[in-house]
Amino acid sequence: MTVGERTSSGDLLAGPGHVRDTPLPSQSGNSEILGASVTGAAPIRSLSLLRPGDRLTVTTGQGIFRYLVLDQRYGVATCWLPSSESILTLASSTGEGWWGSIDPSRVLYVDVGLQGRSVVAPGGRPEHVSPSELPGRGDVNTGPFVIMWLRVALIVAVVMVSLWHRWRLWRT
């Protein structure tokens, strides 16, 4: 899959995104990639299938790199591995059940470690990202969808109540 350089909620609908203020994959430090497991094309819905010992191949502009899955955890964003190594953290909601996709404690983090030597980071990388690029924040495009679905829910509720008054409970 192709990974973009943005991580706002709207950007993650198009595919996974690299958190811009973290090192690029294959460079020293903890690189983070976020993705959607339920919405959009759900490109990393099978993230929960990765187990320690599994292997991943990552291709960047600096070459092809092999990674080994080290750890899998839920709800804890902090990577406890040494930052002097090249670690890639993949994160997504689990999508298990109707509540799993929105419950922050059900965010799955998978740490994978670079097998081999890391490469030198190019200069000019951002040190901070704007709050609008943080997942679930600042996406102004979601307002109309929320309003639309609230209207749909209200219409369904009105129809159900009117049917209940007409036909009573068992037919409704």
Confidence of residue 69 (pLDDT cuts 50, 70, 90): very high
68 beta partners? 55, 113
Q: Is the pLDDT of residue 118 over 60?
A: yes
* pLDDT score at 105: 55
In 1-151, the DSSP E strands lie at 17-18, 29-34, 55-60, 63-74, 86-93, 107-114
Higher-confidence residue: 155 or 44?
155
Interatomic CA distance for residues 109 and 76, integer angstroms: 8
Separate counts of helices (H) and strands (E) for the chain? 3, 6
Tell me which of 31-35, 91-95, 110-114 is least confident.
Answer: 91-95
**What value does the mean pLDDT of the chain take?**
77
Q: Is the pLDDT of residue 138 over 60?
A: no
Q: What is the mean pLDDT of residues 137-166?
A: 82
Q: What is the mean pLDDT of residues 10-24?
A: 79
Residues in the chain, overall count: 172
Interatomic CA distance for residues 153 and 24, integer angstroms: 43
pTM summary value:
0.65
Q: What is the mean pLDDT of residues 144-164?
A: 89
Place of tokens 């983090």: 109
Q: What is the mean pLDDT of residues 142-148?
A: 76
Q: H or E element: which one contains 148?
A: helix 143-167
Q: Where are the domains of the chain?
A: 9-138, 139-172
Confidence of residue 61 (pLDDT cuts 50, 70, 90): confident
Select 9-138's CATH number: 3.40.50.300, 3.40.50.2300, 2.40.260.10, 1.10.540.10: 2.40.260.10
Give residue 143's identity as a one-letter amino acid code: G
Q: What is the mean pLDDT of residues 88-93?
A: 83
